[in-house]
Each structure stands twice: as C-alpha cells, then as structure tokens.
Structure 1
Amino acid sequence: MKIQNYDNHKKFYAPHHFIYLPLLAILQIIGIWKIFSDEVNQLSWILFSTVIFLIIYLALMVRQHYALGNQDRIVRLEFKQRYFEIFGKRSDEVENQLNFGQISALRFAYDEEFKILIEKALNEKISGDEIKKSITKWRPDHHRI
C-alpha cells in the first residue's frame, strides 16, 4: 500500500465519483439542452431534468450525510480513546476547546507529535489544515470512508 501523507490522503469511491455522478450530469445536460431544442416535448424534458436533478441532489446529500456523520462520530471516539491512553485522563475539557477539523487532523500524527500538536492547537488555535501540514511523520488512515 502506498505511503499516506498530506498530498495523497483524500479518497474517492470510483463507481460513485467517476461513473454514476458523471452519467447523471450528462443526463442533466441533455435534459436542459432538450428543453430549449425540442419545443414539442418541452414539458416532458422539464420533468425529466427536474427528476435527474433530484436524483443527483439525493445521491450527493444522503451519501455524504450518513457516511460523514458516522465517520465524525468514530473520529471523535478515537480521539477520546487516544487522549486517554496518552494522558491517562478524560478528554472532555480539551475536546470542547477544539473544533472537529482540529480533532480530525490530529489523528494523522503519531503519539509524540500528537502531544505537541494538541498543545499548539489549544494555545495557538491553529487550524486542522495547519495541523496536517505540521505533521513530520504521517500516521496513515487507510480505513476511512
């Protein structure tokens, strides 16, 4: 498996991102084009385009909503567990001071760097992206959605 770092940590689901959504986009473009070029069936093409738009909207929103909501909960739980393992105390107070972007970014740091970066995040209020860029030894996460 390829070594994960800041530049390559994003993940795509090929059937969804490169087949299903482009196909729907093409159908939407055809539908809109036909609205203006086929005046006899214009109402049918308006209905067609509306249905395709709703399918695209639902495909994007439902997929993202469930997957990201679940992933966010798991990332927070991992943070709590890891914080307890490293510091031997509950993370409630610290977790409330960090936003989700910071918590999410901290999972890519190994334990020693985690300690340093959590202090920077709390004291200097650095963003999640700045935390990711500050990581010198990337701890890969190959199991995320």
Structure 2
Amino acid sequence: MKNQNYKSHSRLVFGFHGILFVLIVALLIGSFRNLMKSDVSTTYGAYLLVFIPFILFFMMYYIRAFALKAQDRAIRAEEKLRYFILTGNTMPDKITTRQIIGLRFASDDEFVALVDRVLNENLSEKEIKKAINNWKPDTYRV
C-alpha cells in the first residue's frame, strides 16, 4: 500500500461502492419496467418487487453508517488514550468527535501541538488533516 496523505487517505471499496450500487440501480429500473408491464393479476407482485431495491438502498446506507459510527467511537477512545499517554491529562471536552477523527492521522510528535491548535483556532476535520506534516496511516478503517 502506498503512503497515506490527505489526498490518498479516503477509501472506496469497488465491490460495495461500485458494483453493489450499480446492481441495485439496475434492479430498480428493471422492477419499474416490470411494474409498467404488469396487468391487474400481477400488479401486487410487481409493487413488491419495486420495494426490494429501496430496501437494499436503505440497508446499504445503514450498514455503512452503523459501521462508521462504531469506528468513530473506537477512534475517539483511542485518541483520548493517546492524548493521556502523551500528556498525562485528559483530552479537553471542547474537541468534537469529528476533530478527533481528523487528529488520528497526526504522528505523536505533532499530536499534542495540533490538539492545542484545534482548541485555539477551532479547526475543522478537513483543516486538521491538511495541517498534518507527518501523516500516520490508518489502514484498518472500515
């Protein structure tokens, strides 16, 4: 795997973000075509078939959202522990989860200084990631 940085740290899984999405869209189009061609005796089944891609879209969204929420909680705990190990103090409550998620890529050498900068300048997650000089890769994310 190549080195991570601000431009290369995002991750798209081709099978999930590409193929699965295209297949669900194809199912949606096909189910609508089936509905348009249905007659009185097959309308109920055709409507049920139209619901399947919508159910799959909801599942696709929530499967991803739930995994990311659990990952965010783990990142928050890890980075708070890292801050405590480096400083002997608890991380200030003013720092949001999104900011902590941006801080996870900072090396130990710049982490504490970057936390202070976040507190003083209220940097966004994106600004934090751009401010990191020595990028610490996160290869185990969802």
Contact 1:105 1:129 (8 Å CA) reproduced: yes
Which residue of the partner structure matches residue 12 of structure 1? 12
Pairing of 1:2-41 with structure 2 (within 5 A) = 2-36=2-36, 38-40=37-39, 41=42
Q: Which TM-score applies when normalising by structure 2?
A: 0.88
Which residue of the partner structure matches residue 50 of structure 1? 51
Deviations 1:100-121 (A, max 9, x none): 1100000111122212211111
Return the match for 2:135 from 115, 128, 138: 138
Which residue of the partner structure matches residue 123 of structure 2? 126
- Deviation for aligned residue 1:137: 1.8
- Deviation for aligned residue 1:136: 1.6
Secondary structure at 1:34's aligned position in 2? helix
How many residues are paired up?
140
- RMSD (Å) for aligned C-alpha atoms: 1.7
- Deviation for aligned residue 1:50: 1.1
Flag structure 2 segments of 5+ consecutive residues without an equivalent.
none
Contact 1:28 1:52 (8 Å CA) reproduced: yes
Structure 1 vs Structure 2: percent identity of aligned residues?
34
Which residue of the partner structure matches residue 79 of structure 1? 79
Flag structure 1 segments of 5+ consecutive residues without an equivalent.
none
Superposition misfits of 4+ residues, deviation over 6 angstroms: none
Deviations 1:32-51 (A, max 9, x none): 23333x14244432221112
Which residue of the partner structure matches residue 89 of structure 1? 89
Q: Which TM-score applies when normalising by structure 1?
A: 0.86
Contact 1:34 1:42 (8 Å CA) reproduced: no
Q: Which amino acid aligns with 2:76?
A: R
Contact 2:38 2:46 (8 Å CA) reproduced: no
